[in-house]
Chains A and B, each alone.
Chain A
């Protein structure tokens, strides 16, 4: 499985943007970049995914570097409910291979 590297933790203030980096220098041409998050005491939930182009949905935006070796998940206005572990995952088949993720703390 291609690996991703994420910071262990990040802090943000409520209503400010959060930029979560992910490095994936060994990404292959068929790997999609997926982001899931896991709120405390819950199962992971899908956030967003992309292949080459930047993507937006109601939860977040995904910015993908031109060489695809890194990407950034952007939460535009963090709320207390966004405090979670965020996982960046490369996926080209059915398998989700989770790393340790980034723990995001949101300060009120």
Chain B
């Protein structure tokens, strides 16, 4: 069964450093999502791509976060500089289209020291 791949699974970094997360969606899925999940809360959408275009980045802190999906396949989420409050699980999901079931990857757990 096809799965969404994410790497790394765990990342420890120091405050003010840059960090990047990678996501490879299920093959053929046009829509890709990045979520952030703070411990004890549900995931919160950061950005949604339709192919290579950003559809919604209204909750993305654009002063320090950036996301790209250059060829409409895999995607990278970057934080620069990282802050203590960025410690969370970063989840990637994909779907065949924007209104269809979303399939989530295992996430990247980030700890900022």
Contact = CB atoms under 8 A, between A and B. Distances in A.
A96 interface: yes
Nearest to B109: A41
Could you say which interface size class chain A belongs to?
A: 10 to 19
Interface string B67-80: 00000000000000
Contacts of B99: 93-94
Interface of A is mostly: loop
Contacts of A44: 43, 91, 93, 104
Contacts of B48: 94-95
Contacts, number: 47
Contacts of B103: 45-46
Nearest to B101: A46
Nearest to B31: A94
Interface residues of B, number: 22
B106 A96 contact: no
A7 interface: no
B25 interface: no
Interface of B is mostly: loop
Interface string B27-42: 0000100000000111
A49 B101 CA distance: 9
A98 B43 contact: yes
A80 B98 CA distance: 33
Given A94-B31, A94-B55, A43 B93 contact: yes
Given A43-B93, A94-B48, A95-B56, A100 B104 contact: no
A46 to B, nearest CB: 5
Interface in A41-69: 41-46, 49
Given A94-B31, A94-B55, A95-B56, A46 B44 contact: no
The 7 A-B residue pairs with the shortest CB-CB distance in the complex, in nearest-first order: A98-B42, A43-B104, A94-B98, A46-B101, A98-B43, A44-B104, A43-B91
Interface of B: 4, 31, 40-45, 48, 55-56, 91, 93, 98-99, 101-107
Interface of A: 41-46, 49, 85, 87, 93-101
